[in-house]
Structure 1
């Protein structure tokens, strides 16, 4: 079954597609491609979503990689604990999941809140993450934006939490977002327990160890030592993160005009961008004296 017990109260749903590095098929149905030279891909969804978010991409990625897509705690088909629905606990769950799957190292790909989660995984377990890709990640918010977060959290803890979540989600789309994607995310939000939405949002941005708002974002993200591919819709935030990246193989891309759902709006472009960047890492690893070599 595609479930893994990663703690006393948490069982994660995941899919495992494509080919493992040793040529043995992964646990899913998309096997048949040849494995790349690098470690498997770990796909991590955002706030109020689940691993179905990657349905636009898994088949294309699984043609050349082992692809593990997971529902974070509190989301999708995974367990819903009463407490601890935070990016840090989610990252700890992923570390335990990879132990269960006997996967020593991954390229971790995270969207929105998932960008926080994979960054925490990379900082707290650096040997586990060969590289990471952060897609319009949920960090780097300015103090001006952050002033509205307490009111949003109050709404998530109020009498109509899903309506509050839907209002928050409005900034995630624009004219470039197809109606199908809007509807998909609305349905996922309404299917996520209110306490999970509130705990996760608070832990991202206003909690004691939150890393979503500057300067806490700067202080924490500079601890990432692996190569980072960062894809943004906002050129200002793209320029900001470019100054934080340590590994010379890192890259920042900005898709102006896209919304927060950029990788769903442009699935083929996302796959092409990710695959191209991964090839540069593989090429560098083959050259003695280069990063990853």
Structure 2
């Protein structure tokens, strides 16, 4: 290197080599194309849902749980609507000129094969699809045999079953059993948003179990009610006569009780028993 120009060229060459090595060593990260910015209303719903969920996890208030379930359902609906509208907008903007419609068609027609890896259970190895399916089936049958998780269903209703059908088949026999002087219990059990409230309360057109039970109870007493009021007020005066010794023992006992209460008060005596005096006999 006999001149300043040669030194500058070599320095520039070294800098280029370092830059190239840095770019080659650090992989470039691209934002996923399937993750798009959510609208502000959905983002705010997600923040509110997460805040309510945190309150439910900390304080366990039933109101927070109900609000969290409602927000979760609302977020799911809003995301579905937004996804569908985004897809419709994408389809409406596709044209043949920019090859966008052909790219989408190629993406749909591309083969995507997701193969389950080789499975092993004890000394048995499954390599084929049929063998893997049978091994998974046998495994699920073996692990889901807990007797506590099983139950017997006396009635199974289709989704099209009406409220009256459920009431006549299940509740009315128990109600008649109850009218005969026997105990009877009816309660709803299930996951959130599974239809427990609509089954118990119903609607104005299709009353649920509770309104129908009340209606049957009032029907059962028809003809057994009195048209005239035969109940009269009952007055009673109950008194106990104490002699002087018994009265003194009673007052001493109550005084000891008030003394124990008085000793637990604060120095300012800002706590009192409303309506009770110290020498008042109980």
Is TM-score (shorter-chain normalized) higher than 0.5?
no
TM-score by length of 1: 0.17
Task: Name the one with the larger helix percent.
Answer: 2
TM-score by length of 2: 0.17
